[in-house]
């Protein structure tokens, strides 16, 4: 039985399946009682529920370290997400040019073809599971093309398959296979003179030394992890509203539209719901003392529903004058892939709307949602539509 908001707040656990649907309501209760509640789960951590507290912690890496960015830990390095200054700056200096808006424009044609091909695989039957048939193959294929950036179609094909396996299973074996393929792609990039992120990782230096293999594979792993679950989750969330709200399809088809709508979707459905920080020294946040070594859950999804920052926060309001959401984080760890994510999402829905209309949930469709970091993102979403 699902916990109520009161029960979720009393026994707060951001990973508990029975609490997932009530965590945002529990955060609303917490703001009026104790805005930085404590969870006894996973060794204990405080949860930030207010917009200004989340921003303050993200803007203060000297007080709150990112070296353990997951509450439950991850089996591999996720550079630069798990890196503090000054090393973080060195890694971002290498990666940033390859995820700028200007650089990513060279991939527009490839992403359009990939989106068209993916939608074409199910368009004529007028139905699909948005997650398995569309979001996973498109996001995995996009990443393989942008990260591997090679004309070696065999390598790209194997990269897509490996990325899909990570997205579907998240098993140690899937990560190992992706790491092995990444090492192969890095070796190829080092031998060829082509401009791309892998060649940069293979050839760039930090203070005169080359990157270690752990650093290289850590950054490649981060690119795939950061780009797979996030894009998959946003596509599924937007598709759900497309199928359940009469106004969404017209808004997305409006000439010159989409940008503000996309930002509101990102605020309302925060795909990376939370990350962790560790207090470097005794400090406090929101009036709550945090001891050195204390863990803090930076609850982005709750911050994006804070009524002190957003009017009617629990509603999709597409004509907000300003949408300064925290879905891409804040501070030095502001999401590297934000331009790539926006490009993927616009491309994905342009292709979907070109081949279908009148989207609706399939009769009797269940919408299983996953707890944890990808808060309430559907991992299956069966839709029907009229082919165009």
Question: What CATH number is given to the structural domain containing 308?
Answer: 1.10.630.10
This prediction's pTM: 0.92
Which mean pLDDT values do the consecutive 10-residue runs of the chain (388 residues) have?
Answer: 77 86 91 94 96 97 95 83 96 96 94 97 97 91 84 78 70 79 84 83 92 90 80 92 94 84 93 94 95 97 97 94 94 95 94 97 86 73 96
The CA-based dihedral angle spanning residues 257, 260, 264, 265, taken in that order and rounded to the nearest 10 degrees: 40
Burial class (CB in 10 A: 0-12, 13-18, 19+), 316: middle
Whole-angstrom CA distances from 350 to 114, 149, 344, 345 are 12, 23, 10, 8
**SS3 assignment, position 13:** coil
Counted domains in the chain: 1
pLDDT at residue 357, as a whole number? 97
Sign of CA dihedral 78, 84, 86, 88: positive
Distance CA 52, CA 57 (A): 9
pLDDT at residue 302, as a whole number? 96
Q: What domain range is 36 assigned to?
A: 5-387
Contact by Cβ (8 Å): 45, 71 = yes
Q: Give the pair of three-digit tokens for residue 341.
A: 């994510």
């Amino acid at each position: 039985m699902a916990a109520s908001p009161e029960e979720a707040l009393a026994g707060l656990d951001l990973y508990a399946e029975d609490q997932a649907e009530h965590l945002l309501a529990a955060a609303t209760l917490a703001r009026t009682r104790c805005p930085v509640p404590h969870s006894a789960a996973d060794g204990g951590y405080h949860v930030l529920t207010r917009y200004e507290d989340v921003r303050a912690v993200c803007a203060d890496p000297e007080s709150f370290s990112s070296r353990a960015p997951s509450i439950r830990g991850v089996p591999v390095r996720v550079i630069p997400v798990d890196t503090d200054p000054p090393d973080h700056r060195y890694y971002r200096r290498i990666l940033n040019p390859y995820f700028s808006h200007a650089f990513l424009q060279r991939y527009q044609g490839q992403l359009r073809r990939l989106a068209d091909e993916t939608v074409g695989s199910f368009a004529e039957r007028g139905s699909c599971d948005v997650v398995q048939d569309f979001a996973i193959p498109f996001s995995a294929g996009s990443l393989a093309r942008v990260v591997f950036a090679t004309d070696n179609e065999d390598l790209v094909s194997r990269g897509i398959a490996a990325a899909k396996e990570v997205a579907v299973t998240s098993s140690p074996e899937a990560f190992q296979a992706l790491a092995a393929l990444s090492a192969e792609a890095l070796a190829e990039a080092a031998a060829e003179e082509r401009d791309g992120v892998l060649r940069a990782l293979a050839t760039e230096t930090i203070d005169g030394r080359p990157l270690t293999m752990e650093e290289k594979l850590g950054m490649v792993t981060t690119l795939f992890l950061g780009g797979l679950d996030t894009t998959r989750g946003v596509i599924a969330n937007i598709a759900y509203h497309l199928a359940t709200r009469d106004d969404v399809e017209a808004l997305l088809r409006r000439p010159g539209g989409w940008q503000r709508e996309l930002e509101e979707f990102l605020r309302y459905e925060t795909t990376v719901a939370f990350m962790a920080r560790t207090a470097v020294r005794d400090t406090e946040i929101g009036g709550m003392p945090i001891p050195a070594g204390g863990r803090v859950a930076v609850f982005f999804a709750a911050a994006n529903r804070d009524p002190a920052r957003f009017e009617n926060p629990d509603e999709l309001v597409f004509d907000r004058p300003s949408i300064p959401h925290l879905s891409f984080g804040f501070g030095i760890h502001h999401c590297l892939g934000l331009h790539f994510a926006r490009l993927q999402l616009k491309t994905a829905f342009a292709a979907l709307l070109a081949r279908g209309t009148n989207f609706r949930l399939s009769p009797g469709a269940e919408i299983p949602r996953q707890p944890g970091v990808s808060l309430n993102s559907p991992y299956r979403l069966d839709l029907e539509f009229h082919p165009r």
